[in-house]
């Protein structure tokens, strides 16, 4: 039983290594479909052992999940991600490349007007106090 889990971990590690190696060189995800199949089958075996309470299997399962995330990231950056990842990458690029909105002239005029009115108010206040108090 333990040998089955060890073999599954080895198969998963081999599949991950093959997928990472091929990720930058293939044109379609389907080109390494058999490696993905081997990985998911090994992951199912390890998941069963982890569900039975095997801590080592659980830790290996977490490593596999981390590797799958790194593979997904590699695929996205190499332009071979799934439709959902492509949409999110496009959206992220579109928002990053949008120019900042220029300051409107009206808001600049309003700011100058408020500043001028404030200056006039304090000048009038100063004249008032200097005339009646001073």
Asked if residue 84 and residue 55 are part of one domain, the reply reads yes
Asked if residue 55 and residue 15 are part of one domain, the reply reads yes
Asked if residue 68 and residue 53 are part of one domain, the reply reads yes
Asked if residue 59 and residue 9 are part of one domain, the reply reads yes
Question: What pLDDT does residue 61 have?
Answer: 84
pLDDT per 10-residue tile (average), the chain, 134 residues: 72 77 64 75 83 83 83 70 56 64 70 89 89 78
CA distance 65 to 73: 12
In 3D space, the residue among 67, 72, 82 whose CA is nearest the CA of residue 12 turns out to be 67
Asked if residue 76 and residue 22 are part of one domain, the reply reads yes
What's the total number of domains in the chain?
Answer: 2
Asked if residue 21 and residue 6 are part of one domain, the reply reads yes
* H-helix or E-strand spanning residue 1: none
Question: What pLDDT does residue 123 have?
Answer: 92
Tokens of 65: 């999940």
Residues ≥6 apart with Cβ < 8 Å to 50: 57, 58, 60, 61
CA distance 2 to 57: 10
Question: What pLDDT does residue 117 have?
Answer: 92
Asked if residue 31 and residue 67 are part of one domain, the reply reads yes
Asked if residue 57 and residue 84 are part of one domain, the reply reads yes
Asked if residue 38 and residue 60 are part of one domain, the reply reads yes
In this structure, are residues 81 and 89 in contact, taking their beta carbons and an 8 Å threshold?
yes
Asked if residue 93 and residue 107 are part of one domain, the reply reads no
Asked if residue 48 and residue 16 are part of one domain, the reply reads yes
pLDDT in tens, 38-48: 878 888 888 88
Question: What pLDDT does residue 62 have?
Answer: 87
Q: Could you tell me the residue range of the domain that residue 109 belongs to?
A: 102-134
Question: What pLDDT does residue 98 have?
Answer: 64
Asked if residue 61 and residue 124 are part of one domain, the reply reads no
């Amino acid at each position: 039983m333990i040998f089955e889990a060890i073999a599954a971990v080895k198969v998963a590690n081999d599949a991950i290594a093959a997928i990472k190696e091929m990720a930058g060189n293939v044109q379609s995800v389907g080109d390494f479909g058999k490696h993905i199949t081997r990985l998911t089958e090994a992951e199912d075996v390890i998941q069963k052992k982890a569900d039975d309470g095997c801590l080592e299997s659980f830790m290996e399962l977490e490593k596999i999940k981390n590797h799958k995330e790194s593979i997904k990231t590699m695929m996205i950056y190499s332009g071979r991600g799934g439709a959902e990842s492509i949409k999110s990458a496009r959206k992220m690029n579109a928002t990053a490349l949008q120019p900042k909105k220029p300051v409107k002239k009206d808001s600049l005029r309003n700011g100058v007007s408020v500043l001028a009115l404030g200056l006039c108010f304090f000048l009038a206040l100063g004249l008032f106090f200097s005339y009646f108090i001073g």
